């Protein structure tokens, strides 16, 4: 019994000593350095790798001509119909690719393929950022079975923080009421612990990145 109490006392003494020593000194915490390491590979490669890990599809296009060609092939191979698009620049791309689409907002709830632009791409997480300030707004990512995102190299950043800062800089005080971070197709395991893809959103997401 005496030996046990002596052992406990030794432990407690060490704890007290450690606490006294800790409070006596100061701890320097670095709040400035980045939490994650900087990118060591081109952002395009990092984004493609991360998006693919999340079951997204990545298509790199050297220019807009290659973009329209790749889009045309994708739509033709999958025999897609009920394509919906609201954003001006994306509509111009579809017209150049000779892909028929609807821009009637009444059709959005019946859309099969939604085509949109984005705010930013975050390479480290393979994320696509869209916001309520885009013409596609809140609805397109929720209704479309397949979501095609057209992005440009100037929209590609490394981290989520950079993407959010970019959106803040773009809109200033008129900040979007909603920002969606899309990381691959929608998926859930709520039903009998089985992973289901496309349960509450697009089954597949395609990101076309155009080099400028």
Residue 8, domain member (yes or no): no
Nearby residues of 59 by Cβ (< 8 Å), 6 or more positions away? 70, 74, 206, 207, 208, 209
Residue span of the structural domain in which 166 resides: 37-210
- What percent of the chain clears pLDDT 70, i.e. is strictly above it? 73
* pLDDT at residue 22, as a whole number: 46
Residue 2, domain member (yes or no): no
Residue 23, domain member (yes or no): no
For residues 142 and 22, the model is more confident at: 142
pTM of the model: 0.76
* pLDDT at residue 5, as a whole number: 59
Summarised one tens digit per residue, pLDDT across range 52-103 is 999 999 999 999 999 999 999 999 999 999 999 999 999 999 999 999 999 9
Q: Residue 133: give its domain's CATH number.
A: 3.40.50.10420
Strand partners, 61: 210
Annotate 111-159 with DSSP letters as a single string: -SEEEE--SEEETTTTEEEEETTSTTTTTHHHH-SEEEEEEEGGGEESS
Highest mean pLDDT among 3-7, 30-34, 45-49: 45-49
Summarised one tens digit per residue, pLDDT across range 147-206 is 999 999 999 999 999 999 999 999 999 999 999 999 877 555 444 544 444 455 688 999
Residue 191, domain member (yes or no): yes
Residue 114, domain member (yes or no): yes
Residue 155, domain member (yes or no): yes
- The encoded tokens of residue 179 equal 């920002």
Name the residue among 41, 49, 52, 71 with its Cα closest to residue 210: 71
Give 139's pLDDT tier (boundaries 50, 70, 90).
confident
| Average pLDDT over the chain, rounded to an integer | 83
Residue 77, domain member (yes or no): yes
Residue 97, domain member (yes or no): yes
Total domains in the chain come to 1
For residues 200 and 40, the model is more confident at: 40
Q: Are 143 and 114 in contact (CB under 8 A)?
A: yes
The DSSP 8-state label assigned to residue 76 in this structure reads H
Residue 123 has pLDDT above 60, yes or no: yes
> Please, how many CA atoms are within 13 Å of residue 70, restricted to the half-sphere of its CB?
19
């Amino acid at each position: 019994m005496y030996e046990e109490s002596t052992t406990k006392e030794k432990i407690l003494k060490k704890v007290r000593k450690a606490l006294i020593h800790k409070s006596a000194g100061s701890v320097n915490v670095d709040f400035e350095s980045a939490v994650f390491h900087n990118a060591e590979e081109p952002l395009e490669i990092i984004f493609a790798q991360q998006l693919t890990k999340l079951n997204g599809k990545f298509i790199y296009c050297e220019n807009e001509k290659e973009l329209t060609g790749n889009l045309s092939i994708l739509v033709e191979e999958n025999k897609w119909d009920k394509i919906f698009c609201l954003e001006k620049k994306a509509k111009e791309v579809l017209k150049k690719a000779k892909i028929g689409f609807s821009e009637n907002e009444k059709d959005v709830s019946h859309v099969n393929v939604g085509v949109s632009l984005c705010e930013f791409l975050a390479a480290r997480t393979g994320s696509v950022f869209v916001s309520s300030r885009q013409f596609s707004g809140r609805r397109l990512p929720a209704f479309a079975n397949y979501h095609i995102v057209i992005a440009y190299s100037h929209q590609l950043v490394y981290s989520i923080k950079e993407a959010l800062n970019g959106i803040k800089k773009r809109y200033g005080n008129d900040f979007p009421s909603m920002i969606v971070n899309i990381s691959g197709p929608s998926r859930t395991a709520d039903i009998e612990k089985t992973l289901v893809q496309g349960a509450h959103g697009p089954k597949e997401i395609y990101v076309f990145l155009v080099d400028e």
